Structure 1
Amino acid sequence: MIKSTLRFLLLCFLGFSFYNCEDPVTLDSRFVEPQLVVEAWLNNISEPQAILLSESQDYYDNRLPTPVTDAQVIVCQTEDQQPTPNCFVFEHEGEGRYVWEPSVPGETLGEVDMEFGLGIQRGDKQYASTTTMNRTATIDSISFQFEEESLGLDEGLYAQLYARDPVGTGDAYLIRTTFNDTLLLNPSELNIAYDATFSPGSGTDGIAFIFPIRFAINKQDEDGGFIPLEEGDHIAVEVISLSDEAYLFLRIVSEQINNGGSGLFDLPVTNSPGNIFEIESQEAILGFFNVAATARAERTVE
């Protein structure tokens, strides 16, 4: 009888302890004041180019970021390119969106191997960055192939991107898919590559993108499972060149947003290292500046 009572009390104690472990704990995020955040992902396509400016916010602040509407933004080809560099003024169109539009058909920001400078003025603070437009891969085609049901994959038709990495190591890419006019933005759909594989140091060069990368252009469900295509579905793919710094930035972003359920052994939450600096203090701010060469292809299921 005594042993049964003790066992019952022990179970009650353990149950009470586990219950208390579920109490939410709010940690100090050490947020002091908002900082400028810059999203400057540009390309060499003759189309409107946009830079988004906003303010950072507390980690626990569950709302959309505050747009920055009082800045001046310019992008220039650097003086190393020519005696009088071309400059492109980005006008504010609302909600922190600054846009440059080609003045004539075919006009672009520049070409591969050109260096570009970003300048931002906001009040008495100035921000700057530089980057070089790297080359991109060559797209051969988008194919549709029937796959039988297997572990983690439903039977059906799926797309694959056939693109080739150019000869010479050090090429990084963001592969972006638009499915039926909707850009795929699920965390698991962030598709980046380095020399046609996942990361530097693979020893590969000048080859076609490996299967997991070319297959990752398909739409995924909330659990990361690939969804078969149906008749009439339209897929458009962009292969966007990245600087080494931009690749590192996106790789850390991928690790952060796919970081599990914030468990004990997950990676600590941190900001990806940017390449934009406040001129006076030389301190890096949040965000990134990349000017890309872009290859595009599209296809519809018939």
Structure 2
Amino acid sequence: MKQLLLLTLLGLALWRCEDPVTLDSRFVGPELVVEAWINNASEPQTILLTESQDYYANRLPTPVTDAQVVICETENQQPTSNCFLFIHQDSGRYVWTPGPGETIGDVGTEYGLGIQRGDKQYASFSTMNRTAMVDSISFQFEEASLGLEEGLYAQLYARDQVGQGDAYLIRSTINDTLLIRPFELILAYDATFSPGNDADGITFIFPIRFGINKLDENGAPIPLVSGDKVEAEVISLSQEAYLFLRIVQEQINNGGSGLFDRPVANSPGNVIDLETGETVLGFFNVGAVARAERTVE
């Protein structure tokens, strides 16, 4: 009994001695952050510009509204006459709106991003890679199992291009709602999740095909019901863009900042401050997109 009382008192003493500790984030000042994920669909393309902020700042990033933004076709990093001007709309969103049937780009073409803000200039380059060959979306009934409720689920049937080194971002939309939570993001390298294997020119493996389903808060797939519309798109990535998103995904899903979690770090971008030669935050990628959609009857 005395031992139990002693342990209880010791626990209370330790609990009362806990003090919150705020570490120095070494934040100097705001820097430009570029989110330029462009594809060749004939639809408005958006680039988001914001400012970085302190790690402990509990607010939305400050939008950059005073920049000039353009993307041009380039040859050996020299601009041609074919350019696309992005106009600021609101909250740091710069938009290019195509005419009927107009798109940005062809596979194999190099593009340059130019940003002017006051006397500061930024630039980046991206070549549009090929995307996967998308066939269809299928619906299959699955029996109840560990972590899976009985019901109807979608699968995306797409084939990796022949030749290793293709990287893809796969996104799905269910009933016009884009699934953009970190654990709903699907990255593929050739036909699997990552490089370092011999998979090439084959249908995406099952976890990738099945990953287009909506997930609940615990990460469990939610079965479809009659009338649900499922859309999926496969967007090509450069090798650097794949690495950027993989690191971002790992950082966001890093857990509770425990002892064995990865240290917090910025993912390496590809946008350069032309005055200093330093890389700013964010990324520029121009990708080809392939899509499929189907509705549950």
- TM-score normalised over the length of structure 1: 0.95
Q: Which amino acid aligns with 2:13?
A: F
Q: 1:212 aligns with which of 189, 198, 207?
A: 207
Query: What's 1:258 paired with?
Result: 253
User: What is aligned with 1:64?
Assistant: 60
For 1:81 and 1:10, how far apart are their aligned partners in 2?
69
Inter-partner Cα distance in structure 2 for 1:214 and 1:298: 14
Aligned structure 1 segments of 4 or more residues deviating by more than 2 angstroms: 4-11, 18-21, 79-85
Q: 2:84 aligns with which of 84, 88, 97?
A: 88
- 2:45 counterpart letter in structure 1: Q
1:9 aligns with 2:6: yes
Residues 133, 20 of structure 1: CA spacing in aligned structure 2 closer, same or farther, 3 A cutoff? same
Task: Please give the per-residue CA displacement for 1:63-88, whole angstroms capped at 9, x wherever unaligned.
Answer: 11110000000100003599943111
Distance in 1 (alpha carbons) for counterparts of 2:119 and 2:65: 15
Specify whether residues 121 and 82 from structure 1 end up closer, same or farther in structure 2 by C-alpha distance, changes over 3 A only: closer
Gaps of 5+ in 1: none
Contact 1:79 1:85 in 2 (8 A): no
Structure 1 residue 121 corresponds to structure 2 residue 121: no
CA drift at 1:165:
0.1
Aligned pair partner of 1:153 in 148, 156, 161: 148
Structure 2: how far apart are the matches of 1:246 and 1:274?
Answer: 8
**Residue 199 of structure 1, CA deviation:** 0.4
Residues 27 and 167 of structure 1: is their aligned pair in 2 closer, same or farther, counting only changes over 3 Å? same
Aligned-pair distance for 1:5?
Answer: 3.9
CA distance in 1, matches of 2:291, 2:281: 29
> Is contact 2:73-2:79 (8 Å) kept?
no
Post-superposition offset of 1:120: 0.3
Residue 101 of structure 1 deviates from its aligned partner by 1.3
Identity of aligned residues (%): 72
Deviation at 1:258, TM superposition (A): 1.1
Q: Secondary structure at the match of 1:277?
A: strand
In 2, distance between residues paired with 1:7 and 1:145?
57
**Cα shift readout 1:211-266 (whole Å, capped 9, x = no counterpart):** 00110000001111110001111111010000000000010011111111221111
Q: Which amino acid aligns with 1:12?
A: L
Matches of residues 95-244 of structure 1 in structure 2 within 5 Å?
Answer: 95-102=91-98, 104-244=99-239
Cα RMSD over matched residues? Answer: 1.6
2:243 partner letter: L
Q: Secondary structure at the match of 2:294?
A: strand
* 2:6 match: secondary structure: helix
Deviations 1:181-232 (A, max 9, x none): 1110122101000001010111110000000011000000111111000111
**Secondary structure of 1:85's match?**
strand
Partner of 2:251, secondary structure, is helix
Q: Which moves more between the two structures, 28-37 or 11-20?
A: 11-20
Which sections of structure 2, spanning at least 5 residues, go unmatched?
A: none
Question: Retained in 2: the 8 A contact 1:67–1:96?
Answer: yes
SS at match of 1:221: coil
Report the Cα distance in structure 2 between the residues aligned to 1:29 and 1:148, rounded to whole angstroms.
49
What's the counterpart of residue 50 of structure 1?
A: 46
Tell me which residue corresponds to 1:298: 293
Q: 2:46 aligned with 1:38, yes or no?
A: no
Q: How far apart, CA to CA, are the structure 2 residues paired with 1:244 and 1:82?
A: 22
How many angstroms apart in 2 are the aligned matches of 1:123 and 1:8? Answer: 68
